[in-house]
Amino acid sequence: MKILIKSATIIAPSSKYHNKTLDILIENGTIKAIEKNISLTENTQEVTYQNLHLSLGWIDSSVSFGEPGYEDRETLYNGMQTAAKSGYTSIGLNATSHPAPDTGSSISYLKNKTHLFGVELFPIGNLTKNGAGKDLAELYDMQQHGAISFYDYKQPIQNPNLLKLALQYTQGFNGLIQSFPQENAIARTACVNENISSTNAGLSGIPNLAEELQIARDLYILKYTGGKLHIPTISTASSVNLIKQAKLEGLDVSCSVAIANLYYTDKEIIGFDSAYKILPPLRTEEDRLALLAGIKDGTIDMVTTDHFPTTIEEKKVEFEQANYGSIGLECAFGILNKLVGTEKAIDLLTKGRTRFGITEPKLEVGEKAEISLFSPTENYTFTPENILSSSKNTIFKDEKLTGKAIGIFANNSLTLN
């Protein structure tokens, strides 16, 4: 297979090709040439697009589908196609299926079923058996079969001794533990941020304290045990400060933030639209600005779409009864490009591999091609016609965006939107 990408502006700050408009020839999955002008030859597929740009492949550390068990939310086939057409070459797949991926064989099933796609799927195994929060799952066995970390998705580790044991045990094989930042005894059954907006809406609120107390506890345990801890989807200003201080103290901790929490505030809940019901909840403008500052100064290690499909029956109900979550793969680049500009957006979209033990791609002749294609200047409104996911539950509906993913070349496979 020969692919010729014509007149693409390269966004890769660590590369000698950064900000240059060049042609790239790919043959059998390997970059054969990067030059000013490469002639099209027979049996070569040409890729052209107005104001075409490319970068190293994008990665999302927190994606959920449904299969097996919840195929009505999303299948592996359509989910992988959606990720590819959204510009992603790698995804960390959360443990949100049934049965839960908590054994080596269940991790192998996910890897084997998706290995022919352009996108590479990296399973995240359940931390506990069946995700029930009681007993540790087969962590070492899962890692041996391809799991990149261990996380009961959106379920806080309520027992501090369980986290202590997990951090101690995984040091023997350099495993990464994820701990969702919420103390349920404080959050209770509330579903939005505790603030004037929740009072005006008559909805019970989750205070910032619920997140920050859990993070402080987890960091104390990490300081005691050692090991590697990742805190997914933080949402408050004080959470940023807690993690910044922990890093200064030398703790091996990383964190992510969901794009929705960078973009919206809790003022959106006034209309009782369940599309804005996410977890952690949308916070205040002060929190949002602190999160943006955190990604700019490097305290926050990566951004994620926190892509979570749900069915219309789970979402189109009373706000308090609706499922949490939003899809976000399809418009992630457009949102980040609008928020922080193209170069920073690409930096954020390509960060995170090292933390999860994933090999970084290289944009050099002779290297395996793992490339994301995009246009940073295309203006459009994100409408249902732009949604590729089986589920349509998006928080970003009707947003005016600048920048659109075109597709990817990875795993010797070209996928275009």
Tell me the catalytic residues: 306
Q: Are 188 and 160 in contact (CB under 8 A)?
A: no
Residue 327, CB half-sphere, CA atoms under 13 Å: how many? 29
DSSP class of residue 34 equals E
**Cα 145 → chain centroid:** 21
Could you tell me the CA-to-CA distances from 310 to 142, 152, 271, 278, 313 in Å, in that order? Answer: 27, 18, 20, 12, 8
Cα 416 from Cα 108, distance rounded (Å): 28
- DSSP sequence for 92-157: EEPS-SSS---SHHHHHHHHHHHTTSSSEEEE-B-SBGGG-SSSB--HHHHHHTT---B--TT---
Residue 97: partners with Cβ closer than 8 Å, 6 or more residues away: 65, 66, 67, 68, 69, 70
Q: Is the dihedral of CA 248, 143, 152, 395 positive or negative?
A: positive
Cα 241 from Cα 201, distance rounded (Å): 29
The count of other CB atoms within 10 Å of the CB of residue 173 is 10
The count of other CB atoms within 10 Å of the CB of residue 129 is 16
Cα 339 from Cα 323, distance rounded (Å): 27
Tokens of 104: 């080596």
Could you tell me the CA-to-CA distances from 63 to 40, 106, 153, 245, 329 in Å, in that order? Answer: 37, 17, 10, 28, 8
Collapsing DSSP to helix, strand or coil, 299 comes out as coil
Cα 376 from Cα 399, distance rounded (Å): 16
Single out the residue of 308, 300, 290, 283 nearest to residue 395, CA to CA: 308
First to last CA, the chain: 19
Task: List phi, psi (to 5°) of 383.
Answer: -120, 170
Q: Where are the beta strands (DSSP E) in 207-356?
A: 229-231, 253-258, 302-304
